[in-house]
Amino acid sequence: MPDTTAYTDILVADPAPHVRQITMNRPKQLNALSANHLNEIVAALELAAEDDEVRAVVLTGGEKVFAAGADLTEMAKRDIATTLKGTRDRAWEGVRKFPKPLIAAVNGYALGGGCEIAMHCDIIIAGDTAKFGQPEVNVGIMPGAGGTQRLARTVGKSLAMKMVLAGEMIDAESALRAGLAVEVVPHEMAVERALRLAATIAQKPPIAVRLAKEAVLKSYDMTLENGLDFERRAFTILLATADMKEGVAAFLEKRKPTFQGR
């Protein structure tokens, strides 16, 4: 079990074998991502990355709200010199580089940095109350944690422009149609569905899962040829793992495999 006493803005639990749940927990501020809140999420992800027992992580805000973006109270005080130090950018880098499967369970608002942190996740499960948006333009700024790039690549130019330029939100069904969310479920089921998916992934061979995640993400910033090359090398590495031998042996012996992450 993780030590959760160090956190004030998140809850951390291991609700199923090999599955960690990180719950954003600043309900009064609609889970606005203050520096401390984001840093705690990143610290929890770092611990999850280090812990061999953890094979998949669910990030959620619970049943009511995912996250309403950067904390505007803090942002009001931020100046250029502080921003240029890059502390927040490095925190986002910590989310981006998380190497294990990360599933977002989104209910209610996922706005600004909230939408961006959902898009940092590998899979988004939306509750039927989910609302995704990049409303930064309403407060005189623009997305700054990957929103313009990830949204355009995921939902296409026109919808991305509508969300980023007009600040309009989309609901769960629109997010599903646009490919931002992979499933829409009743809001009270979103966390449970994400946990079940995480549990399914957690039963797979961890090294294969890790390399497969990396390979899919490479498709965002590599040419097809380089991506295929990466895939081939990753595939070749997996042929040398004990889990591959176990997986094939279990199939041939008609039994369930037990993967060790070796």
28: tokens are: 């009064």
- The correct pick among 61, 62, 135, 206 for binding ligand CAA (CB under 6 A) is 135
112/205 with CB nearer ligand CAA: 112
Give, in degrees to the nearest 5, the angle at Cα 105 between 4 and 131.
125
Q: How far is the CB of 231 from ligand CAA (least distance, A)?
A: 32
Q: How far is the CB of 73 from ligand CAA (least distance, A)?
A: 5
- The correct pick among 10, 12, 30, 180 for binding ligand CAA (CB under 6 A) is 30
Q: How far is the CB of 8 from ligand CAA (least distance, A)?
A: 16
Q: How far is the CB of 7 from ligand CAA (least distance, A)?
A: 19
Catalytic (active site) residue 247: no
Catalytic (active site) residue 136: yes
Give the number of C-alpha atoms closer than 13 A to the C-alpha of residue 157, restricted to the C-beta side. Answer: 0
How long a stretch of residues is the chain? Answer: 262
The per-residue b/e assignment along 188-203, b for 16 or more CB within 10 angstroms, e otherwise, is: ebbbebbbbbbbebbe
Instruction: Give the pairing type, strands 10-16 and 56-60.
Output: unpaired
Under the criterion CB under 6 A, does residue 146 sit at the interface with ligand CAA?
Answer: no
Long-range pairs for 84-90: beta carbons < 8 A, 24 or more residues apart: 87/35, 88/35, 88/38
- Interface with ligand CAA (CB under 6 A), residue total 20
Under the criterion CB under 6 A, does residue 29 sit at the interface with ligand CAA?
Answer: yes
Catalytic (active site) residue 173: no
- For 184, counting Cβ atoms within 10 Å of its Cβ (0-12 exposed, 13-18 middle, 19+ buried), the class is buried
71/122 with CB nearer ligand CAA: 71
N- to C-terminal Cα separation, the chain: 22
What radius of gyration do the chain's Cα atoms show? 19
Show the site string, 90-129: x = touches ligand CAA by CB under 6 A, - = not. -------------------x-xxx----------------
Contact 244, 235 (CB under 8 A): no
Q: How far is the CB of 109 from ligand CAA (least distance, A)?
A: 5
Contact 211, 238 (CB under 8 A): yes
Give me the catalytic one of 61, 113, 147, 247: 113
Catalytic (active site) residue 70: yes
Under the criterion CB under 6 A, does residue 145 sit at the interface with ligand CAA?
Answer: yes
- The correct pick among 24, 57, 66, 71 for binding ligand CAA (CB under 6 A) is 71
- Please state, in angstroms and rounded to a whole number, the distance separating the CA atoms of residues 215 and 161: 28
Under the criterion CB under 6 A, does residue 69 sit at the interface with ligand CAA?
Answer: yes
31/241 with CB nearer ligand CAA: 31
Give the residue numbers marked as catalytic.
70, 113, 116, 136
